[in-house]
Chain A
Amino acid sequence: MSLATLSAMRRALEAGETTAVALTEQALAAAEANADLNAFLHLDPAKARAAAAAADARRQAGEGTALTGIPLAVKDIFCSAGDPTTAASKMLANWQAPYDATAVARLKDAGAVLLGKLNLDEFAMGASGENSAFGPTLNPWDRTRVPGGSSSGSAAAVAAGIVPATLGTDTGGSIRQPAAFCGLTGLKPTYGRVSRWGMIAFASSLDQGGALAWSAEDVAEVFSVIGGHDPRDATSAPGTVAPASTLLSTPVAGLTLGVPEAFFEAVDSALQGPLADAKAQFEALGVRLKAIELPFAGDAVPAYYVLAPAEASTNLSRYDGVRFGHRCKDPVDLDDLYRRSRGEGFGPEVKRRILTGTYALSVGYYDAYYRQAQRVRRRILESFTEAFQSVDALFLPTTPTTAFKLGEKRNDPIALYEEDRFTIPANLAGLPALSLPVGFSKGLPVGGQLLAPHFEEGRILSLAHAFQQVTDHHQQRPAAGGAA
């Protein structure tokens, strides 16, 4: 029996057909067999085995939860006590987190078995996984291609069958784009839904933690555990998150799905067929489609690439070679210590964004760039609010293309920034957004995206779940070895 999904593992654990220890050994073996993917930056077999044994004991005592004994892993941007936490940066290469991020603590409290920390673009800045200081992650569907980013390891580890679900973060598409490139379902919840406590900051008004898994059902299971108010995060939204069964239970027949045609016209022709089929499939489920326009959403890329770097340049000022992280050798004075520690510790893309952000915030340019981008952000939010007056949710492409070749866009930052053009609007407006597999093009997965009003994660999870009851795209698996 294949135990590739979280739900299947849970059922087998509940029926006593397997144990957490057995599932963990299976996951560790799969991690070793797929070491070439470079999905993990840190694997901790001893800790995982101890957690698995504890999970089995907990289940035997009748105190298990849905996640008790399930092997999972988290993007290495979440702090986990006593573990290396690097954000894939040389700056934090030797740093160990002194505490657990709230999302990590909630997984541990639920009895999940954490295998280790997953690769990413440095400080979550990238859309290919190639910006990691510890080498790129490969796409399990085709090892000559990128898995997407920045949650590159989070996507590759699930797609390779190592773990059934992972945590990622999404500032401009970093959960949804790799989910799309790797044939997975990925949820970026409403801004503030998952605590940012212990999540290393990139752009604080945009960053949001979430989950990747094969199906909406499995994503809902993880989201219901990690989501909900956290008093330690001042931007945490109030309220709790409903159980997974409730999140998946919204009836979809009769819902209206807004379709912004301009987005569909902008995708590669290879994606048109699967996306058109997905629209038809939603109609077959009784969902009404309505063509809509989203003024200003097409201008999200320049707004985002002002706001996110501006926030990053501020957030990353904390890496000064004094309190944590890399310090240069033999600094002659404090300024030299700052400049060389940062120059040596940060990678090329991180420096590029710090410089861009510093420019946008500097005297004389602040109004023209930063303020103007904030005004565009307001118009984008209003444009979604207006759309949701007449539709229940939106459907659009996740990415303009399928997974591209490693190195193809490595030296072209603009091309990589444009990768995010369909995902960024949801971050600027703080909306929940989910990518789900809608088909394949030349053997590579194609993703479609569902967006809902603030706090309506259940609506898009239900739409995706209903879609996955009548389609099998989410059940396709890459061939072992990821032959092209």
Chain B
Amino acid sequence: MALDPDAIRRLATLSRLALADDEVAGYSESLTEILAVLDRLQGLPVGDALPLASPLALPQALRPDVAEPVTNQEALQAGAPATDSGFFLVPKVLS
């Protein structure tokens, strides 16, 4: 199935990715080619195989519910683009 430029723009909106027009054209071409490869999945005789999400059949690992200092707020926020008084700053959401 071909993914035309409008389909790429819809995916970009869902993915929160700003794309230039030439990028949209390029991805339309390459994703169409990639989908042709992925479509090989459709004819495979998997029968009643159950979907496999993770390769190891291990029980969910739990650890003691004990609070443990991992790193501090200051260190975590040091890499943030904009902070104030321990908060992350974003553009105004409500006008």
Contacts and interface: CB of A to CB of B under 8 A. Distances in A.
A473 B66 CA distance: 50
B18 A339 contact: yes
B37 A417 contact: yes
A423 to B, nearest CB: 15
A355 B11 contact: yes
A414 B88 contact: no
B59 to A, nearest CB: 9
Contact of B56 (A191, A299, A317): A191
Contacts of B51: 371, 374-375, 377-378
A413 to B, nearest CB: 6
A343 B19 contact: yes
Interface residues of A, number: 77
Interface string A137-180: 00000000000000000000000000000000000000000000
Interface of B is mostly: loop
B33 A235 contact: no
**Which of B23, B52, B53, B82 counts the most chain A CB atoms within 10 A?**
B52
A351 B52 contact: no
Given A238-B58, A296-B44, A413-B30, A313 B38 contact: no
Interface residues of B, number: 52
Interface of B: 3, 8, 11-12, 14-19, 23, 26-27, 30-31, 33-35, 37-42, 44, 46, 49-56, 58, 60-61, 63, 70-71, 75-76, 78-82, 88, 90-93
B33 A413 contact: yes
A322 B23 contact: no
16 contacts: A99-B71, A205-B55, A238-B58, A301-B37, A306-B41, A320-B16, A323-B88, A355-B11, A358-B11, A359-B3, A359-B11, A360-B38, A369-B38, A381-B55, A414-B34, A454-B56
A299 B40 contact: yes
A96 B41 contact: no
B91 A327 contact: no
A130 B67 CA distance: 42
Given A351-B17, A352-B31, A369-B38, A235 B61 contact: yes
Nearest to B46: A375
B63 A99 contact: no
Given A355-B31, A379-B46, A342 B18 contact: yes
Nearest to B1: A365
Contacts of A382: 49
